[in-house]
Amino acid sequence: MKQLVLIMFLVSNHLIGMNVLKKCSYELLSRLRTKKKDNDQKSFFNAPWRGSYMVAATKSLEKPSANLSACKLCDKFTASRDEDNYVLERKTYNYLALARYPYHDQAHMLVMPYKHTGSLLLLDDCERKEMIAIIAHIDSVFKKNKLNTFMGFNMGRNAGAGIPGHLHGHLIGYDHKHESILHFKDKPVDLTAMYAQVKKMIENAQSIKMPQPVSDLHCPDCLNKSQTSYIIKRGLFNYVALDARPFNAGHLNVVPYVHVNTIEHMSADMQQESMALIIQSCNALTHVVKASDFNIGFHNNSPEKHFKWHIIPRNQGDVSCTEVIGHIKIISLSTEQLYHALCEQFDKHDN
């Protein structure tokens, strides 16, 4: 069936025009990221309390505002009523608060800089260093409370940012029994109850020590570090490589050489270098695949999993990443072309 769908796709392109096939070399990625049940074409969740947010987000698309006083995230940190605004923690350059319109009913937080900027690239080293320390701390809190961690920055409107003018990273903790980060009960989330629950999690985590991860001889990321195939850049503590199963052309990973399963087990130097490589990756992808926006994050849903950052480039109108036909993802660049172009950009930065 997959072959038939592919042939139909290629034939249709041939009929539309041979130039399409001449200009693009297609790679076929046959791995499904999400297994679907036979009787379940799509998954939906009802969250009517997000309605007011969606209306506001649609209006901001029509009339984007550069006015700082209109930024809801700026309002939160200037206000003094932290409990009313569900602010959990304030640092020198960043703060942590509950998401007003959460994706999950267990724990959904936002980490945000005080600086009004929509890009991680526009933060300075001190701001990024403190931000990654907050992320590492909350990842550790989730682990100690036996929760999976999903962390992601939607950098720009094309990457799905609801408030693209002010950078914010999503930190979602969810139970191992839930397959998805999207989970609600039949009634709206009680933010006051979640606020108390998360504060208790943070407090309880202080007395729990996590065991150091054990190296896995069969870990593909550990094995990959000794190979040269599709590793674009080697740092002192981390390497940058093309993702083996990309969501989009130019999907990169920043991976520590040491087998760790959480940011907490990375040293400050490792964390700082990983962030510098993420910035360098974004700059390279802007040139190579003309990316306008980015999804940056990680998903820790297994205690044995090798930690790595994902950098997914997004383009204007790129709502669903790569085109999917049947169970096959179509990427209109060859891996070799992509690899050599990215290596060239990283070399230019180093020189």
pLDDT in single tens digits along all 351 residues of the chain: 444 333 333 333 333 333 333 333 323 333 333 444 444 444 444 444 444 444 454 454 444 444 555 787 887 766 678 888 899 999 999 999 999 888 777 899 999 999 999 999 999 999 999 999 999 999 999 988 888 899 999 999 888 888 889 999 999 988 876 555 555 555 677 899 999 999 999 988 887 777 666 666 677 777 766 666 689 999 999 999 999 888 888 999 999 998 888 888 899 999 999 999 999 999 999 999 999 999 999 988 776 788 999 999 998 776 555 555 555 666 767 888 899 999 999 998 777
348 shares a domain with 313: yes
343 shares a domain with 223: yes
Q: Identify the domain boundary among 207, 226, 243.
A: 207
Instruction: Please report, rounded to a whole number, the percentage of residues in the chain having pLDDT higher than 70.
Output: 66
Quick one: how far is CA 148 from the chain centroid? 14
Which DSSP state fits 247? S
157 shares a domain with 91: yes
350 shares a domain with 236: yes
> Quick one: 102 exposed, middle or buried, by C-beta within 10 A (0-12, 13-18, 19+)?
buried
230 domain-assigned? yes
CATH code at position 292: 3.30.428.10
Residue 321: predicted pLDDT:
58
Residue 132: predicted pLDDT:
95
Residue 77: count other Cβ atoms within 10 Å of its Cβ. Answer: 17
Over residues 161-199, the pLDDT tens digits come to 888 899 999 999 888 765 555 555 556 778 999 999 999
83 shares a domain with 20: no
Q: Identify the domain boundary among 185, 207, 229.
A: 207
Number of domains within the chain: 2
Scanning 79-180, the segments in alpha helix (DSSP H) are 125-144
Residue 182: predicted pLDDT:
57
SS3 assignment, position 154? strand
pTM: 0.77
258 shares a domain with 139: no
Q: Give yes or no for a contact between 259 and 306, defined as CB atoms under 8 angstroms apart.
A: yes
230 shares a domain with 148: no
262 domain-assigned? yes
Both tokens assigned to 156: 């720009």
171 shares a domain with 221: no
Distance, CA of 322 to CA of 203 (rounded, Å): 42
Residue 27: predicted pLDDT:
37
SS3 assignment, position 4? helix
Sequence-separated (6 or more) residues with CB below 8 Å from residue 55: none
Run of H or E including 131: helix 125-144
Domain span at 24: 1-30+215-351
171 domain-assigned? yes
Distance, CA of 244 to CA of 280 (rounded, Å): 20
